[in-house]
């Protein structure tokens, strides 16, 4: 399977001044679409865009040029898994405080603790409740940006494993 960048889009279907960008990372495009649809409905008045990748190496290259406010990362992917991505992105300047959430169907004993030890901020299992995810992301974005995202801000990165 070759690496390819999926797409970059605004989450409201119209041109907005983007104040936050969420990076989504999953080798399954269907999972990216599901997360984009969940993110579309985060907080009123937010101009949040998503940048989606099916390849962790390309997502990491994007992170070298952009600082996200949030990352959602899948675990099982070819070439570089979510744990390897988290470890690599945590070494980049400015990424120490960026929330990184691993979203995965892997419920093996100890995996949550291992992901957190590798630098994940949180670990969510699939299937997930879209409203719960919206509320959690809304709170994480507010914490990372100092309040509701309505003015200039940083990028938000989200990936699925």
Helix (DSSP H) and strand (DSSP E) numbers for the chain: 5, 6
Backbone angles phi, psi at 36, to 5 degrees: -60, -40
In the chain (161 residues long), the average pLDDT of successive 10-residue segments reads 42 54 94 89 72 96 92 94 96 93 88 94 90 88 66 42 39
pLDDT of residue 10: 47
| Domain map (residue ranges) of the chain | 5-145
Which CATH number applies to 5-145?
A: 3.40.50.2300
pLDDT of residue 157: 44
CA distances from 130 to 30, 66, 161 (A): 15, 27, 17
pLDDT of residue 65: 95
pLDDT of residue 45: 57
Where does the chain have alpha helices with state H? Answer: 29-39, 56-63, 82-90, 111-117, 130-145
Task: In whole angstroms, give the CA distance from residue 57 to residue 70.
Answer: 17
Distance of CA 134 to the CA centre of its chain: 12
Q: With beta carbons less than 8 A apart as the criterion, state whether 21 and 50 touch.
A: yes
Helix (H) or strand (E) holding 102: strand 100-104
pLDDT of residue 158: 44
pLDDT of residue 82: 96
Strand bridging mode 122-125 / 71-73: unpaired
Radius of gyration of the chain (CA): 14
pLDDT of residue 43: 62
Cβ-proximal residues to 93 (8 Å cutoff; 6+ apart), any chain:
none
In this prediction the pTM is: 0.79
pLDDT of residue 107: 82
Supply 156's token pair.
Answer: 């938000």
């Amino acid at each position: 399977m070759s690496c390819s960048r999926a797409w970059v889009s605004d989450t409201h279907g119209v041109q907005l001044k983007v104040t936050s960008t969420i990076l989504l990372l999953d080798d399954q495009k269907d999972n990216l679409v599901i997360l984009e649809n969940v993110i579309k409905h985060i907080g009123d008045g937010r101009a949040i865009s998503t940048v989606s990748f099916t390849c962790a190496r390309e997502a990491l290259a994007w992170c070298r040029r952009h600082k996200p406010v949030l990352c959602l990362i899948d675990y099982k992917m070819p070439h570089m898994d979510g744990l390897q991505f988290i470890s690599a992105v945590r070494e980049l300047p400015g990424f120490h405080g960026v929330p990184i959430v691993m979203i995965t169907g892997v419920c093996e004993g100890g995996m949550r603790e291992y992901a957190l030890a590798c630098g994940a901020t949180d670990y969510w299992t699939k299937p997930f409740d879209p409203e719960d995810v919206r509320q959690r992301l809304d709170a994480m974005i507010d914490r990372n940006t100092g309040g509701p995202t309505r003015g200039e801000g940083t990028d938000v990165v989200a990936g699925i494993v």
